[in-house]
Structure 1
Amino acid sequence: MSASTRIPAAERHLIALDIDGTVLSHGFGEGAGDDADGGHIDPELADAILALHEMGHEVVIATGRSVDATLPIVERLGIRPEWVVSANGAVTLRRDPLAHRAYRREFVEAFDPSDALRKIRTQLVTARFAVELADGGFLYTDDIPTGTLPARQRRVPFEQLLGVQASRVVVVSPDHRLEEFLDVVSTLGLTHVSYAVGSTSWLDIAPHGVTKASALEVVASHLGIDGSRVFAAGDGRNDIEMLQWAAKRGDAVAMGQAIDDVRAVASRVTGTIDEGGLLTALRDRFPVLG
């Protein structure tokens, strides 16, 4: 089957892909300067994703990144999916049929972050706080790594983060080791917490009940795609619910570098991103890729 051959509707899959650590690597080898935050997409992987998209499968990028930091990756992959999930499921975009590459905010989940922010600040007094607003803006108290965050940003006092409508809260605490950070967060009794940890201790808080899985379930319903035709791949704590959801009837793949908690909920574990793990998993699931 060539990439240009369209599959029957009954064979159409929803292919949900995390970005960082799954599609995009952040190494320092060849290609490390491909974009502003040093990410690299393996050309063979990009070709495979594009081929699946052109066959008629619905490739859905599902990420914790903001909209502003997600769409450039979609652009780099050369795909034009109908749906894109960002902000860990709080913002679901839908392609505008009247514009070539424009997306509109189809579903936005928001909450008042005041209680969570006050509670966290009592325990993490030196942390840096931010909220991503429902309209796509971003308010922050101190500089934090911005590679995955919105372009429209404004520095404000902590008090101005309270009482807004936020699609997520971001807390970064460089003064805490990861173990200390997780211990503190575990005692806070927050309703819904997902973690995305890089070189610093980083916490994302989504609206109650909102995850990548909750957004993808809505997308799958709109597309009429059965759970047995779901493929999902990820590597982070914020992918756990997505992998659990996909594993119920479909294919849930944890990247090889994922922590044990992530690997435990997946249907299978593939190689690390440096080993081309996602490409291997896609070829296993879709033999037409060769």
Structure 2
Amino acid sequence: MGEDGPVTEPRTAPRLIATDLDGTLLCSGGTVSDRTAAALAAAEAAGVQVVFVTGRPPRWMQQVSPHIGGHGVAICSNGGAVVDVRRGELVEYFPLAVGTTLAVVEALRAKLPGTAFAFEYPDGWAREPGYEVLMWGDGEVRAIGPAEELLADGGPVRGLFKLLAKHPDLDPDTFLTEARAAAGHLAEITRSSPIPLLEISAPGVTKASTLARWSAEHGIDRGEVVAFGDMPNDLEMLAWAGTAYAVANAHPEVLAAVPLHTMSNEQDGVAAVLEELLELAYPKRPLT
């Protein structure tokens, strides 16, 4: 196994399954298929931890809470927050410094005019007036105003753990490349959406960094982790895990970087791998 990632399939069942959600585990519409639900339940019953590692904010996790496993914890916001989904509580989070956030905002505005921003923080989320909301409505928004006002002393944003940047018309990959050139030295910048929407975390905070912390706290080595993903925000996690799979519908960069592939999310690609892994370790154990 290479230092940068797996080159062969695991010979035994893993101790931890780390899977992205949208575009990887979930079907279109954000649902969990019956086959996938059964495979996740069988993994948990066999003593394998299942951890959802997602770009979603904590407020979008209740939809998958029945499938979260016995621990009830998910890694959200690309590693920026660890959430007890069942209790609806933040376990821990890794904030972006206000000065860093303002520097990123300034750099992206200068390099990519038209960029608008939104902010995920422990008490909810806020956005600039020009940040168009496309998913789940904006009923939960706590404040609307310029970034400088929202981030100022006495402003509503405290403990920011994810900055969102949206552009009205740039190609998504071009947006990511240009943003990293302008502000990649200040923060972690990635993307998981099909639209020009960037997800920005504190320096060093990625899906991989928080998953590594979780695994270490539970005595699990990276070689005992199998990870699944589909988009650029999954790349660090897929490189860190002992074994990694890209789903067939993954972004071309992910397909090129990850040697092992499985079927698409619509074809229950994660479930197919889990079924094989559990059959390998427990050949007489029914998947029910």
Asked if 1:265 is matched to 2:281, the reply is no
Q: 1:105 to 1:178 in 2, by over 3 A?
A: closer
**Contact conserved, 2:167 with 2:196, CA < 8 A, in 1?**
yes
Asked if 1:193 is matched to 2:189, the reply is yes
In structure 1, the residue matched to 2:18 is 16
**Contact conserved, 1:91 with 1:108, CA < 8 A, in 2?**
yes
Q: Secondary structure at the match of 2:61?
A: helix
In structure 1, the residue matched to 2:54 is 63
CA shift digits 1:80-101 (9 cap, x unpaired): 4343100100101247xxxxx3
Q: 1:65 to 1:179 in 2, by over 3 A?
A: closer
**Contact conserved, 2:32 with 2:64, CA < 8 A, in 1?**
no
Q: Secondary structure at the match of 1:209?
A: coil
For the residues of structure 1 that align with 2:243 and 2:115, how far apart are their CA atoms? 38
Of 257, 268, 274, 1:276 maps to: 268
Query: What amino acid maps onto 2:257 in structure 1?
Result: V
Moved over 3 A (4+): 146-153, 161-165
CA shift for structure 1 position 158: 3.1
Identical pairs, percent: 27
For the residues of structure 1 that align with 2:169 and 2:125, how far apart are their CA atoms? 23
CA shift for structure 1 position 55: 2.5
Q: 1:268 to 1:52 in 2, by over 3 A?
A: same
In structure 1, the residue matched to 2:43 is 52
Of 226, 239, 244, 1:244 maps to: 239
Asked if 1:154 is matched to 2:147, the reply is no
CA shift digits 1:57-90 (9 cap, x unpaired): 2110110001010232123x26343431001001
For the residues of structure 2 that align with 1:89 and 1:148, how far apart are their CA atoms? 24
Query: What amino acid maps onto 2:192 in structure 1?
Result: A
Number of residue pairs matched?
259
**Contact conserved, 1:87 with 1:168, CA < 8 A, in 2?**
yes
CA shift digits 1:169-221 (9 cap, x unpaired): 101112223354234324314232111122x2010011100011111111111
For the residues of structure 1 that align with 2:137 and 2:252, how far apart are their CA atoms? 25
In structure 1, the residue matched to 2:32 is 41
Asked if 1:91 is matched to 2:81, the reply is yes
Query: What amino acid maps onto 2:44 in structure 1?
Result: H
Q: Secondary structure at the match of 2:238?
A: helix
For the residues of structure 2 that align with 1:252 and 1:150, how far apart are their CA atoms? 37
**Contact conserved, 1:90 with 1:211, CA < 8 A, in 2?**
yes
For the residues of structure 2 that align with 1:252 and 1:148, how far apart are their CA atoms? 34
**Contact conserved, 1:12 with 1:225, CA < 8 A, in 2?**
no
Q: Secondary structure at the match of 2:64?
A: helix
Name the stretch that deviates more: 266-275 or 63-72: 266-275
Asked if 1:204 is matched to 2:199, the reply is yes
Task: Mark the runs of 5 or more structure 1 residues left unpaired by the alignment.
Answer: 1-9, 27-37, 96-100
Query: What amino acid maps onto 1:283 in structure 2?
Result: E
CA shift digits 1:217-243 (9 cap, x unpaired): 111111111222111111011100000
TM-score (norm 1): 0.81
Query: What amino acid maps onto 1:89 in structure 2?
Result: G
In structure 2, the residue matched to 1:34 is none
In structure 2, the residue matched to 1:144 is 133
CA shift digits 1:128-174 (9 cap, x unpaired): 211112x2421101332234999353222232243454101101112
Task: Mark the runs of 5 or more structure 2 residues left unpaired by the alignment.
Answer: 1-11
Name the stretch that deviates more: 253-262 or 183-192: 183-192
**Contact conserved, 1:50 with 1:78, CA < 8 A, in 2?**
no
In structure 2, the residue matched to 1:106 is 91
For the residues of structure 1 that align with 2:223 and 2:174, how far apart are their CA atoms? 40
Asked if 1:214 is matched to 2:209, the reply is yes
In structure 2, the residue matched to 1:7 is none
Relative contact order: is structure 1 or structure 2 higher (C-alpha 8 Å, sep ≥ 6)?
Answer: 2
Q: Secondary structure at the match of 2:89?
A: strand
Q: Secondary structure at the match of 2:42?
A: helix
CA shift digits 1:5-47 (9 cap, x unpaired): xxxxx97611111110111122xxxxxxxxxxx3222111111
Query: What amino acid maps onto 1:284 in structure 2?
Result: E
